[in-house]
Amino acid sequence: MRYLVTGGAGFIGSHYVREVLGDAWGGPTPTSLMVLDKLTYAGNLANLDPVKDDPRLTFVEGDIIDRTTVDRLMADTDVVVHFAAESHVDRSILGAADFVMTNVVGTQALLDSALQHGISKFVHVSTDEVYGSIESGSWDEEQPLEPNSPYSASKASSDLIARSYYRTHGLAVCVTRCSNNYGPYQFPEKVIPLFVTNLVDGKNVPLYGEGLNIRDWLHVDDHCRGIHLVVADGRPGEVYNIGGGTELTNKELTGRLLEACGADWDRVDRVEDRKGHDLRYSVDISKISAELGYEPRVPFEQGLAETIEWYRTRRDWWEPLKERAALTN
């Protein structure tokens, strides 16, 4: 089975690449695996260092919008796992053009090439943010899409384009929608690595508004294992929610990070709330559990402690990234 993994040098994509090459979850294993990554600020070849000598792995630096490159790779591919995306909400608020080009136009280019080359499975990795905000309960996959940020709107658009290639052309597309990921190798603009790296450096951390926004936390290994179940046995044309089952307010999460890093609340700067900030996300995972046997396995307390320790000991990985991106808050 020949795999093409887009965005495979990013946080989630590189975890999938490392683990699937190591046969971490069983199921289908690649005979070859090509990573296509543009290496924007969040892409990092160091994320693939643990598997760089695997003879099955090929890395190609390129843009998913570039049809010449995409078509060349697609010709030697059976399965596409599509992670490549612009994904930071704050950046999308400052400027949405890159999000539309990569997330919408790029996804369409991949789908068109996959159709042309007769790909047997295309898994499009998306986000729970496409559903909008929910006051109580949890979204199932039938929930109408009501995105509230330019980022989530671009992902919702790509989801619908992906669905259309199944309905119109019969391309074997599945869509996965995950909750908030955490774990090692996450770019330090996201809340957990940003807070941990700031705190260990003696800096303050920012908290939006009153910190009452609620997120469901999902360890990256659970997420990638869920994706691999969909690669193996997901039904074409279907959407699968993947959640972690740990809901916390941002204030509660901040408290846990402060305690773990030996810091007090005087290290927290209250900042103006994000524009259009969704109050709560929560996904119902009944479908993927019933059909594919998925359940989150990494307890949040364990996963968070291991993640904090990883950032404590891997300054060599994150310090150059923060310097390059001038992430001072």
pLDDT band at 328 (very low <50, low <70, confident <90, very high): very low
Q: Summarize the confidence of residues 104-119 as an average pLDDT.
A: 97
- In sequence order, what are the residues at sequence separation of 6 or more whose Cβ sits closer than 8 angstroms to the Cβ of residue 301? none
Task: Say if residue 327's pLDDT is above 60.
Answer: no
Radius of gyration of the chain (CA): 19
CATH code reported for the domain at 2-181+217-242: 3.40.50.720
Task: Say if residue 29's pLDDT is above 80.
Answer: yes
The rounded distance, in Å, linking the Cα atoms of 24 and 225 is 9
Output the pLDDT for position 76.
Answer: 97
Degrees to nearest 5, angle at CA 50 with 309 and 328: 45
pLDDT band at 32 (very low <50, low <70, confident <90, very high): very high
The rounded distance, in Å, linking the Cα atoms of 201 and 179 is 28
Q: Summarize the confidence of residues 18-45 as an average pLDDT.
A: 94
Tens of pLDDT, residues 264-278:
999 999 887 776 678
DSSP secondary structure code for residue 96 in this structure? -
DSSP line for 134-171: -SSS-B-TTSPP---SHHHHHHHHHHHHHHHHHHHH--
How confident is the prediction for the chain on average, in pLDDT? 94
Tens of pLDDT, residues 194-245:
999 999 999 999 998 889 999 999 999 999 999 999 999 999 999 999 999 9
Question: Could you identify the residue written with the tokens 């199944």?
Answer: 166
If we measure between CA atoms, which residue out of 185, 183, 191, 190 comes closest to residue 218? 183
Output the pLDDT for position 329.
Answer: 42
pLDDT band at 99 (very low <50, low <70, confident <90, very high): confident
Task: Classify the phi-psi angles of 22: left when phi > 0, otherwise alpha if psi is within -120 to 50, otherwise beta.
Answer: alpha
Structure tokens at 124: 């499009």
Boundaries of CATH 3.90.25.10 in the chain? Answer: 188-215+246-279+299-325
* Contact of 147 with 156, CB cutoff 8 Å: yes
Tens of pLDDT, residues 117-126:
999 999 999 9
Output the pLDDT for position 86.
Answer: 84
Extended strands (E) in the chain:
2-6, 32-37, 57-61, 79-82, 121-127, 173-178, 180-182, 205-208, 214-219, 239-242, 246-249, 268-271
- Active-site annotation, residues: 128-129, 151
Q: In terms of CATH, what superfamily is 188-215+246-279+299-325?
A: UDP-galactose 4-epimerase, domain 1 (3.90.25.10)
pLDDT band at 90 (very low <50, low <70, confident <90, very high): low
* Contact of 246 with 98, CB cutoff 8 Å: no
